[in-house]
Amino acid sequence: MTEMSHRLAAGSLSSRQLVEEALAAIGDPNGEGSRAFLTVYAEQARAVATEIDAQRRRGLVASPIAGIPVSIKDLLDEAGQTTLGGSKVLVGQPPALVDSTVVARLRKAGAVIIGRTNTVEFAYTGLGINPHYGTPKNVYDRATGRIPGGSTSGGGISVADGMAAGAIGTDTGGSLRIPAALNGLVGFKPTQRRVPREGVMPLSTTLDSVGPIAWSVADCALLDAVLTAETVRAPRTPALRGLRFAVPKTFFQNDLSDPVARAFTAALARLSAAGAIIVELPMAEFAQAPNINPKGMITASEAYAWHRKYIKDGAEKYDPRVLARIKTGETISAPDYVELLTLRREFVLSINRAAAGYDAMLMPTTPDIAPPIADVIKDDESYYRINGRMLRNPSVVNLFDGCALSVPCHQQGDAPVGLMIAGIQNTDHHILSVGRAVEAVVSPPRS
């Protein structure tokens, strides 16, 4: 995206060219476009690109992302479109009257919205499986057919396959970082309050965030600035030497698969060799994470409150596995819900104290590489077990209201593995800066 911006500015590339390339990738009969996108705005995108090219010739450039194709998750309202949330439940509901705040900001910045991307139904798992609209295959090992990661499944594949330069999605427990990690991309979950959620279909009002997936930290920083309506500037890249990284041994490194363990260990070694100070320590505060949102009860209770009116008359339209998770929220009492929110506030404070004095915390984004789709959907036990593993590490950042990047840290040619670079709330700019330095040392070159 940053390279595209420079080429657009230099006149060696046009927005219309970018849009045509993106549309060709979406329409490739051998590709994943039909499963990655629910709606494609071909003619609208061409018209917007043509107008932006004309403006650029007149010296009018709205922002560095002007004229660049971006996909949006099917949770973000657009005026005149019905937001479906990757479901059949809301088919026939009235269209949105106005754009969500983030969509309005993208349009103001000149982004070309290429289409609406597929998602796990109502964003409620980390796998990327959607029985209604299909499941786009992971960019790695297409012959086997591996999960894309979720819930921003179509968004991740749209970037990985060149159907968009960046994707905007949501992250309640890893839904940006998981597809980024499993497809060799960069995903950024910002501090929740920095990006407005007006006009974004909720999963958990306590834990939802809105952010980008792209090819690099710099690209994510560009999109983050647009989403937050901040001045667009490239984050500085600090020297690694002397940066202090905490590596929690509690929770995050439990039962890692061999490919993830090898990639994570190698990434830490490369950072240390580059002069970073790697401090492995217990950080036992993280042992409390499973007690803060036991069996996802904060998420489920908030999801059930939103969905109960639809479940009442249309339960049969839901993905049964998603419905089962939502309905667990029916069982929690108000006092228990309030107690969980109190525990969460205490958890946030404890992690803030534990992380003090470090530039970031480092952990594997997911404990496994992407498993085959067939292994995930063969039975309920496999589905829920694998989903729990995918969500385990990234969801903790949402619990302590932090911000985090996932950057690739595998060897070129190996299955993608993500390294998570996490910070406490409102350290987003620092994490993006540190992320650029880390990325330069641990990420494989783009082929």
* Residue 151 is among the residues annotated as catalytic for this protein: yes
The answer to whether 123 and 178 are in contact (CB under 8 A) is: no
DSSP string, 160-176: HTTS-SEEEEEESSSTT
77 backbone φψ class: left, alpha, beta (φ>0; ψ -120 to 50): beta
- Residues in Cβ contact with 125 at an 8 Å cutoff, skipping those fewer than 6 apart: 150, 151, 321, 322, 325, 387, 391
Q: Report residue 342 as tokens.
A: 């109190």
Amino acid at 120: V
380-399 and 334-355 are packed helices; what angle lies between their axes, rounded to 10 degrees? 60
| Annotated catalytic residue within 5, 73, 216, 406 | 73
Q: Residue with structure tokens 């470090």?
A: 358
- Degrees to nearest 5, angle at CA 204 with 380 and 354: 100
Q: Report residue 217 as tokens.
A: 């930290």
**Cα 92 to chain center, whole Å?**
28
The answer to whether 180 and 138 are in contact (CB under 8 A) is: no
261 CB neighbour count, 10 Å cutoff: 15
| Annotated catalytic residue within 151, 216, 395, 443 | 151
Q: Report residue 370 as tokens.
A: 């992407």
Phi, psi angle pair for 187, to nearest 5°:
-125, 145
- Degrees to nearest 5, angle at CA 259 with 254 and 263: 90
| Annotated catalytic residue within 71, 87, 175, 209 | 175
**Cα 348 to chain center, whole Å?**
21
- Residues in Cβ contact with 187 at an 8 Å cutoff, skipping those fewer than 6 apart: 152, 156, 171, 176, 177, 178, 179, 180, 181, 211, 212, 213, 220, 405, 406, 418
* Residue 34 is among the residues annotated as catalytic for this protein: no
Question: Peptide bond before 395: cis, by omega within 30 degrees of 0?
Answer: no
231 CB neighbour count, 10 Å cutoff: 7
**CA torsion 86→92→97→103, rounded to 10°?**
20
Which residues does the annotation mark as catalytic?
73, 151, 175
